[in-house]
Amino acid sequence: MMRYEKILRNILLGAVFVIPFIPLLVPSSLFFPYIVGKNLLFRVLVEVMFGIWAVLAIFDKKYRPRFSFIFTGILSLVGIMFFANLLGINSLKGFWSNYERMEGWITLLHLLGYFVVMTSVLDTRKLWNRFFNTSLAVSVWVGLYGISQIAGWTIAHQGTSRLDISFGNASYLAIYTIFHIFLALFLLVRHSFLGRSSLGKEGFIRHKKWNDWVVYTYIGVILLNIYILYHTATRGAILGFIGSILLISFLLAIFEKENKNLRKTGIGILVGTLLFVGGFIALKDASFIRNNSILNRFATISLEESTTKSRFMIWNMAWQGIKERPILGWGQESFNYIFNETYDPGMYDQEEWFDRTHNVFMDWLVVGGFLGLLAYLSLFGTLLYYLWRKKHDNGFSNFEKSIFTGLLAGYFVHNLFVFDNITSYILFFTILAFIHNQIDFNKEEKEKKDIFLDNLDEDTKLKTFVPVLIFLMIFSLYFFNVKGALANRNLLLALSPHPEIGLSENLRYFEKALSYNSYANQEIREQLLQFVVKTKDVGANQDTKNNLFELAKLEAEKEIERDPENARIEVLIGSFFSNFGKNDEALRHFERALTLSPNKQSIHFGMGYIYITQKEYQKAFDIFKEAYKLDSRYEKAKSLYAISSIYAGKNDVVMSLYGTDIIPDPNFLSAYRDTRQLSKMIQVAEAIVENTPNNPQSHISLSAAYFENGQKSKSIEEIRKAIELDPNFKAQGELFINRIQSGQKP
């Protein structure tokens, strides 16, 4: 078998060197292309790499993993999260995640495999340098593409105000650039300072000449990544980067004893950075800062800012959930249950459904409890331990130790405000593997034999282990990847238009996507519900539309049975039935959602709309009043409460809320019309025209109000004003006029 070692090792190295290219992948043929493609490629590569590595490790002990506190920390995290997910509130999602995140325990398991392979195969400084340089080359391509988007030379799919390039999220790109800034700085230091003592004077001069272009290249890479980082406008990452510079400068000032010039440079950068930060704070109200969209994001940071307040509310909600399950948490992908259960009504102007706390450490507390958080924090602690403990001769200079410490600090600060993704995970575990490989393992550990494997002959290993490993690799490729990828592809086709065939083709693809019975079924079912609502008025074969409806209903029931504590799915199903006029079924699901998330105003709204439709006005008034009382600052809740009071015959509520009962809002106009308060209806319509005199629709609404009140001439006059404002309305407007003149309702 070992005759093929070189071939297997080269294949393994080839797969390893594909890893840095993962951030570039955005396959448009997949649903959630920015996330799914990268994760699938990573998983496939790791499974192939791990299979080949396992074969090599069986036959040659040099490939077998060596234990360190870093490795132990990773194993602890994977082990703890296995039990956290097993005992969690949604084990399936905890292990598998979904298309939007593609995390879960499966990703942790693959990251463990990635770490093992990297520490075993990248066993020389030259290989690590090549790997880092490959990753830096990819970062250059990312940076150049970002510049082309800023310049308008290429299409910016997500906009140029905050770059995200091939990442789909500016914060993902930001942390990617931070890792590469410090990797480039690390290699720059190595190329600039190594060799001075070991080469002779003449040799060092030759070395320096060869090094000049390399040094300038690394400087260029650093500046390019800083430029892209700036254009991500990601505050947490940029603040983390500035903090990293301060920390590196401080460490140089404290620990650098041999190179006095370097120490002075560190002190200078430290002072300069502090002055820069102080100057920015002093000038934050200057026009050149306020008029710059990126700088203004930093100038407006305050405890009263909407984003800041929402973060504190989310963290408080998370803490309430953590207190319920403090040891092992709720399992991965479970924050949405806490978010719904402890929802703060003050979140009304934020996203309706959060699945992350926007704080990595709080996320680990939620999903893994204090055990999970400690295991995760141990990864940072063990890295610092091996960097700075003198008894571990890792070959790093103080400058190099400071660089990696600064990188960890920047990553740490960034993680206080956002969450991880596959690219940041890969980069973090790459650093873990690199530092692990620099440990000077003692001679006894290096020569330690695996009693079981080393006592088996090669033929036994070949016939016993290799077939099993090949089978497991093929099985994992299908089980972990193929099923999910096929379901993903069919989901995208199910959501795509098929004009030549029609909705029957969409139905076929939905059924096919569901037939794989994969972890994607929740996503497929949610998309199916929304698709059926969107296409209910599309001209198509009624039998096909009925079949789509029945499929959506059946799959919704399956999802509720599988995940009965999920308020989101109850709301989606409630909205689904409401759109089809099945109000009793809709109310049943909204009521269930309200028990799961009693403080979420949108659920109250959904129930209130149905009560209005059913003319149960007192119930509508009560539910909208309850929503308003949850947070009276919510303008929509206030408006709906006031409108429901009109239907319930409590007009005094409108006066108490607004100081007047004439509110220039089409919804108030409709309420007064439906309750036959025609004089107020006209006053509201006139107020709308006064506010928006150049809007043709405002005049059409006033025309309708006059018509309802029997004022035909005024009604016709408003139609003519609408025609003047919008000549395209002429034909329809004249038809309206003719019908009014003939006594018919337009």
Q: How far is CA 201 from CA 206, 259, 372, in A?
A: 9, 19, 53
| CB atoms near residue 24 (< 10 Å) | 15
Residue 197 pLDDT:
39
φ, ψ for residue 708, nearest 5 deg: -60, -30
Contact 232, 174 (CB under 8 A): yes
- Helix then strand count (H, E) for the chain reads 35, 0
In a domain, 672, yes or no: yes
**Separation CA 216–CA 544 (nearest Å):** 64
- For the record, the structure tokens of 507 come out as 């139905």
Q: List, for the chain, all residue ranges whose pLDDT scores fall below the cut of 70.
A: 1-2, 156-160, 193-211, 391-394, 442-457, 461
Residue 671 belongs to a domain = yes
The domain that contains 719 carries what CATH number? 1.25.40.10
Angle separating helix axes 483-495 and 33-59, nearest 10 degrees:
170
pLDDT of residue 499: 87
Model confidence pLDDT, tens digit, residues 41-78: 999 999 999 999 998 888 888 888 888 999 999 999 99
- 370 three-state secondary structure: helix
Which positions ≥6 away from 432 have C-beta within 8 Å? Answer: 70, 74, 115, 379, 383
282 assigned to some structural domain: no
Give a yes or no: residue 679 inside a domain. yes
Instruction: Say if residues 438 and 400 touch (Cβ distance below 8 Å).
Output: no
Query: What is the predicted pLDDT for the residue at 285?
Result: 81
Domain that holds residue 694: 663-746
Q: Which residue's entry shows tokens 């820069």?
A: 276
Instruction: Judge whether 745 lies within some domain.
Output: yes
Among 177, 107, 111, residue whose Cα is nearest residue 140: 177
User: Does any domain span residue 616?
Assistant: no
Residue 25: inside a domain: no
Q: What is the DSSP letter of 660?
A: S
> Quick one: 124 exposed, middle or buried, by C-beta within 10 A (0-12, 13-18, 19+)?
exposed
Residue 573: the pLDDT is: 96
CB 361 within 8 A of CB 317: no
Q: Which of 642, 617, 616, 614 is nearest to 628 (CA)?
A: 642
Q: Which residue has the tokens 């001439």?
A: 713
Give the chain's domain count. 1
The reported pLDDT for the residue numbered 449 is: 54
Both structure tokens of 279: 């100057």
- 392 is a domain residue: no
Q: Taking the alpha carbons of 33, 35, 40, 45 in that order, is the dihedral positive or negative?
A: positive
CA distance 688 to 708: 17
Q: What is the pTM of this model?
A: 0.90
Q: Token match 């803490």: residue?
A: 319
**Residue 397: helix, strand or coil by DSSP?**
coil
